[in-house]
């Protein structure tokens, strides 16, 4: 279980560039009321959690988009494979070094399981979903935030050698190449989630697709093409091509 952890100083160089700011201004004109995927994830987690619930975060890392909601929960635990990230985590009550394939918790421990930027990295998502179902109480909820395998960005990523990906991250997007972790995309579509949920005895309640053209914000012409793609995929039948995937699943109540 791994996550992408971008170097903030390099990312700020990208997002503070003149070209990026021009692209941001153009996007704001086209989408004045846009709610990005991170905000939508926070809203989903916030709606699932309250002071009476126990929550588990898979791939918790050092921080979480759902920090405020996690702090409000009755009890919070997080698992990750990166010890230094766990040591820096001040959000969850119990940061634990563990693999999502073998969760070190008793059955029916949690009311909610959440995850951001993790399931795209799972080589065996079926085992992880089985473990999630085991530790989740009946009637519990799962909120996932990940990349949609059917978008052009991950499609290009799969066709690009790792070394070239590192060069692109460092020279174009100003991100450390070594912070790009292996991806498998075995659970990163509505169809895959439906299949995995069914195998684990879970129910796929909702899937939301959210766009993001800013991977191409290093070039105004390319960004304009990305914006046209966003407009095209606003159509209901094409939304499944947008970059981000948010999913809500549940375990049937007994």
Domain for residue 25, yes or no? yes
The string of DSSP letters for 200-234 reads HT-EEEEEEEE---GGGTT-HHHHHHHHHHHHHTT
**Residue 128: burial class (beta carbons within 10 Å; 0-12, 13-18, 19+):** buried
Write down the H helix ranges in 98-161: 125-135, 152-159
16 pLDDT band, cuts 50/70/90, is confident
Domain count, the chain: 1
Domain for residue 152, yes or no? yes
CATH number at 192 reads 3.40.50.150
182 pLDDT band, cuts 50/70/90, is confident
15 pLDDT band, cuts 50/70/90, is confident
Domain for residue 2, yes or no? no
Give pLDDT, residue 158: 76
pTM, entire model: 0.89
Domain for residue 109, yes or no? yes
The 3-state DSSP class for residue 156 equals: helix
The residues near 89 (Cβ < 8 Å, ≥ 6 apart) are 60, 61, 62, 63, 78, 80, 95
3 pLDDT band, cuts 50/70/90, is very low
User: What is the token pair recorded at 62?
Assistant: 């050092």
Domain for residue 214, yes or no? yes
- The yes-or-no verdict on residue 247 having pLDDT over 50 is yes
Domain for residue 245, yes or no? yes
Give pLDDT, residue 5: 42
What is the domain extent for residue 56? 8-250
| Mean of pLDDT over the chain | 90
Cα of first residue to Cα of last residue in the chain, in angstroms, is 30
Domain for residue 1, yes or no? no
Give the pLDDT confidence of 105-147 residue by residue, as tens digits. Answer: 999 999 999 999 999 999 999 999 999 999 999 999 999 999 9
Give the pLDDT confidence of 84-105 residue by residue, as tens digits. Answer: 999 999 999 999 999 999 999 9
Domain for residue 3, yes or no? no
- The yes-or-no verdict on residue 237 having pLDDT over 80 is yes
């Amino acid at each position: 279980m791994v996550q992408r952890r971008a170097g903030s100083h390099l990312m700020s160089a990208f997002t503070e560039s003149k070209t990026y700011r021009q692209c941001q201004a153009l996007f704001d004109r086209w989408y004045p009321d846009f709610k990005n995927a991170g905000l939508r994830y926070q809203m989903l987690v916030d709606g699932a959690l309250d002071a009476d619930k126990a929550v588990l975060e898979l791939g918790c890392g050092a921080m979480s988009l759902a920090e405020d909601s996690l702090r409000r929960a009755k009890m919070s635990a997080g698992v990750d494979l990166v010890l230094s990230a766990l040591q820096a985590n001040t959000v969850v009550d119990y940061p634990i070094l563990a693999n999502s394939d073998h969760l070190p918790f008793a059955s029916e421990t949690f009311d909610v399981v959440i995850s951001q930027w993790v399931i795209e990295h799972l080589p065996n998502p079926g085992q992880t979903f089985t473990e999630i179902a085991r530790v989740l109480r009946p009637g519990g909820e799962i909120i996932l935030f990940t990349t949609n395998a059917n978008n052009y960005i991950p499609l290009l990523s799969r066709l690009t050698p790792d070394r070239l990906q590192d060069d692109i991250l460092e020279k174009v997007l100003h991100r450390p190449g070594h912070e790009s972790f292996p991806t498998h995309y075995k659970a990163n579509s509505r169809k895959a989630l439906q299949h995995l949920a069914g195998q684990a005895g879970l129910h796929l309640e909702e899937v939301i697709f959210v766009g993001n053209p800013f991977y191409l914000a290093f070039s105004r012409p390319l960004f304009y093409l990305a914006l046209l793609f966003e407009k095209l995929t606003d159509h209901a039948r094409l939304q499944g091509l947008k970059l981000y995937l948010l999913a809500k699943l549940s375990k049937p109540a007994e």
